[in-house]
Amino acid sequence: MRIAVLSDIHSNLAALNAVRDDLPSVDEIWIL
């Protein structure tokens, strides 16, 4: 199982979308 863990988003939706679009294939995304 591959899990991407993202943190320190700080309400930056544009950056979050860019990171999500750049992620390799993962089974789950966890946001702290």
CA 28 to CA 22: how far, in whole Å?
14
The whole-model pTM stands at 0.64
Each of the 32 residues of the chain gets a pLDDT tens digit; together they read: 999 999 988 889 999 999 999 999 999 999 89
Tally of domains within the chain: 1
State the Cα–Cα distance between residues 28 and 10, nearest whole angstrom: 21
The parent domain of residue 27 ranges over: 1-32
